[in-house]
Amino acid sequence: MDSENPLGRFLRARRELVRPEDVDIPPAGRRRVAGLRREEVALLAGVSTDYYIRLEQGRERHPSAQVVEALARALVLEEDAVAHLHRLARPAPGRRRRP
């Protein structure tokens, strides 16, 4: 991920901090990644795995407020981290996406 993707960097960093047992995911043997897998975050947040991967990779940068809240719950974020996630997901003022 490059420096132009602060949302993706934040999501990945927070995903790596959450242990499966923190969100009632039973241990299933040896894990290749620290924290949750992308698929697990997507499932907990109620979004598709593909959509979550696009967010982490920066191919999707502005999720809805509902998706941000769902991701915050899935990643067990505290209030200040939730506010930061909302700021990262919000488009910069004065910049509009073209249809």
CA–CA gap between residue 27 and residue 59 (Å, rounded): 31
The string of pLDDT tens digits covering residues 79-88 is 999 999 999 9
* pLDDT tens by residue, 5-63: 999 999 999 999 999 988 988 877 777 777 999 999 999 999 999 999 999 999 998 89
Stated pTM of the model: 0.85
- Cβ neighbors of 49 (< 8 A, separation 6 or more) are 38, 39, 42, 43
Q: Quick check: 94 pLDDT over 60? A: no
| SS3 state at 87 | helix
Q: Which of 46, 41, 77 is nearest to 56 (CA)?
A: 41
> Would you kindly state where each structural domain of the chain is located, as residue ranges?
6-89
> Could you tell me the fold of the domain covering 6-89?
434 Repressor (Amino-terminal Domain) (1.10.260)
Ranges of H-type helices in 18-77:
38-45, 49-57, 65-74
